[in-house]
Structure 1
Amino acid sequence: MLTRFKQIRPKIWAALTFISILIAPYFGLAETLSINAAQEKTILILVLAAVLWVTEWLPLFVVSFVILALELTWLFPSLTQLGINVSEEIFFAPFFSNIILLFLGGFVLSSIMQKASLDARFAHFILRVTKG
């Protein structure tokens, strides 16, 4: 029983942190730290991401999409209320830049090649051709 609790304890902390961060903007954290609402929400997103990364409560790729969703639903309206002219593209840019898509395409191709055993076939072919 104790080992089971030790296994789920990080998940409990992550869930509590997630819930507390979702309700934190309603408790006036910005006034006590003398920061604006956009800065407060950025700090909360950062803390949530750090807790989710450390506890691995969610897979890492899911955490990145949670961050993107929170930026679009929380941060973007706060920035427009402050009069900062920003587009949604700035939030999507880290996820869909040309380099990231190049890496993702390479990872997908290598995964497919490994599942189809093409990597071993290519290695055997190269060794046969080079007489290695």
Structure 2
Amino acid sequence: MKNSEIVKIIDDRIENMGTKGVYYPRRIKPKWNSLTSDKEKLELFEKYVTSKEASIGFRSLVKKNLCSKTLEAILFENPEIVESLNEKDVMTICMDKFEKYKNGEAYLKQMKVSSKQING
């Protein structure tokens, strides 16, 4: 998958993650839109999804059972993206974030993701 295709997927998610009364990407959207190269955008995406601490947006969306609107969900929907990232532990990090919430665990089951698949 080309970087431009990955950036398009991430861009679409950022545009559609805002949910009335739940979350609006107030911080990431301007930062994302200010970047000009696909490389910069991929680096920002990687920074967000590899953070061990769940973001406010992630927590808000998962608590309202809107897991598929998170940036982290992109990796479970498009696992081939991991090959384009530098951090090879990214799936484990994202899984750990989801597993902290009941709705997150349900999402992982729905996506048929288990730690065995990710850790080999």
Query: Whose radius of gyration is greater, 1 or 2?
Result: 1
TM-score under structure 2 normalisation?
0.33
TM-score under structure 1 normalisation?
0.31
Higher RCO by CA contacts (8 Å cutoff, separation 6 or greater) = 2
- Which has the larger share of helix? 1
